[in-house]
Structure 1
Amino acid sequence: MKDSCALIYSSRFSGFSYGEEHPFKVLRYRLTYDLIRELGLLAPPEARVVECPRAPEEALLSYHDADYLKTLKEFSRAATPRANFLYGLGDVENPVFPGVYEWSRLGCGGTLEAARQVVEENCRVAFNVAGGYHHAHRAKASGFSYLNDAVVAILSLLERGLRVAYVDIDAHHGDGVQEAFYDTDQVLTISLHETGDDFFPQTGFTHELGRNAGYGYSINVPFSAHADDLIFEQAFRRIVLPLIEGYRPDVLVTQLGVDSLRTDPLTRLECTTGAIEYAARSFAGTGLPWVALGGGGYDEVNVARTWTLVWAIMAGIEVPDRLPGRVVRRLKELGYASDLLRDEPRLAHPDDFARAQANLEQHLAFLERRVFPLFGLTPGETP
Structure 2
Amino acid sequence: MSRKTALIACADLAGYSYGDHHPFKVQRYRLAHDLMEAYGLLELPGMELVRPRPVGEAELLTAHSREYLDRLREFSASAEPRADFRFGLGDVENPVFPGVYDWACLGVSGTVEAARLVTEEGFAAAFNPFGGYHHAQRSRASGFSYLNDAVVAINHLVQQGKRVVYLDLDAHHGDGVQNAFYQSDRVLSISLHESGVYFFPGTGFERESGEGAGRGYSVNLPLLAHTDDALFMKAFDEVAFPLIAAFDPDVLFTQLGADTFRTDPLTRLEVTTHAYSYILRKLRALQIPWVAVGGGGYDMMNVARAWTIAWGVMNDRVLSPRLPASFVKLISDLGYPHRMLLDAMHWAQEDDRNRALDAVEKSIAYLRAQIFPVLIGDYGTKRST
TM-score (norm 2): 0.96
After superposition, where does 1:1-383 map in structure 2 within 5 Å? 3-376=3-376
Cα offsets for 1:317-340 (capped at 9, x unmatched) = 111011122211221244433341
**Partner SS state of residue 192, structure 1:** strand
Matched residue type, 1:225: A
Cα offsets for 1:283-315 (capped at 9, x unmatched): 111111100010000011110111101111111
In 1, distance between residues paired with 2:130 and 2:279? 19
Q: Give 1:237's aligned amino acid.
A: D
Does 290-299 or 343-352 show the bigger shift? 343-352
**Bigger shift: 39-48 or 101-110?**
39-48
Among the aligned pairs, what percent are the same residue? 53
> How many Å separate the matches in 1 of 2:11 and 2:369?
48
Give the total of aligned pairs: 377
Could you tell me how far apart the structure 2 residues matched to 1:336 and 1:65 are?
Answer: 41
**How far apart are residue 375 of structure 1 and its match?**
3.8
- Determine the C-alpha separation between the residues in 1 that align with 2:339 and 2:135: 33
Aligned mates of 1:265, 1:97 — CA distance in 2: 24
1:344 to partner: Cα distance: 3.0
Determine the C-alpha separation between the residues in 1 that align with 2:238 and 2:23.
33
Q: 1:202 & 1:173 partners in 2: Cα distance? A: 8
Give SS of 1:284's match. helix
Q: Confirm or deny: 8 A CA contact 2:9 2:50 kept in the other structure.
A: yes
Alpha-carbon deviations, 1:253-303, whole Å to 9, x = none?
Answer: 010001000000000000001111112112111111100010000011110
Q: After superposition, give the CA deviation of every residue in 1:144-200 in whole Å (9 maximum; x if it has no partner).
A: 000000000000001101111100000000000000000111110000000000100
Greater shift in the superposed pair: 38-47 or 186-195: 38-47
Structure 2 unaligned segments of length 5 or more: list them.
Answer: 378-385
1:116-147: per-residue Cα shift (whole Å, max 9, x none)? 01001111100000000000000000000000
For structure 1, which segment, 236-245 or 320-329, has the greater mean C-alpha deviation from structure 2 after superposition? 320-329
Q: What amino acid sits opposite 1:84 in the alignment?
A: D
User: The residue matched to 2:352 in structure 1 has which SS?
Assistant: helix
For 1:11, what is the secondary structure of its paired residue? coil
On the 8 A contact 2:217/2:375 being kept in 1, the answer is no
Give 1:2 deviation, angstroms: 6.0
Which amino acid in the other structure matches residue 236 of structure 1? F
2:376 and 2:217 map into 1 onto residues whose CA distance is 14
Check conservation: 1:132, 1:293, Cα contact below 8 A. Answer: yes
| Distance of 1:4 and 1:376 partners within structure 2 | 32
Q: Residues of 2 paired with 1:2 and 1:288: CA distance?
A: 15
- After the TM superposition, list the runs of 4 or more consecutive aligned residues in structure 1 that deviate by more than 4 angstroms: none
Question: Counterparts of 1:216 and 1:272 in 2: how far apart (Å)?
Answer: 30
Aligned counterparts of 1:85 and 1:2: Cα–Cα separation in 2: 50
Q: What residue identity is the alignment partner of 1:164? A: V
Q: Distance in 2 between matches of 1:104 and 1:13?
A: 12
Partner of 1:13: helix, strand, or coil? coil
Q: More deviation in 368-377 or 151-160? A: 368-377
What's the offset of the Cα at 1:11?
Answer: 3.0
Residue equivalent to 2:380? none
Paired amino acid for 1:40 = G
Deviates more, 1:339-348 or 1:15-24: 339-348
* Structure 2 residue identity aligned to 1:222: P
- 1: distance between equivalents of 2:333 and 2:44? 30
What one-letter code is carried by the residue in structure 2 that aligns with 1:89? L
Q: Look up the match of 1:380.
A: none
Q: What is the SS of the residue equivalent to 1:12? A: coil
| 1:213-236: CA deviation from partner (whole Å, max 9, x where unpaired) | 111000000000010010110010
* Cα distance between partner residues in 2 of 1:276 and 1:354: 21
Q: Distance in 2 between matches of 1:220 and 1:334?
A: 39
Flag the 1:248–1:70 CA change in 2: closer, same or farther, 3 A. same
Q: CA RMSD in A?
A: 1.2
Shift, 1:69, TM fit: 0.1
Find the aligned partners of 1:310 and 1:38 in 2 and give their Cα distance. Answer: 15
Partner Cα distance (1:68, 1:137) in 2: 10
In 2, distance between residues paired with 1:84 and 1:74? 11
Q: Secondary structure at the match of 1:107?
A: helix
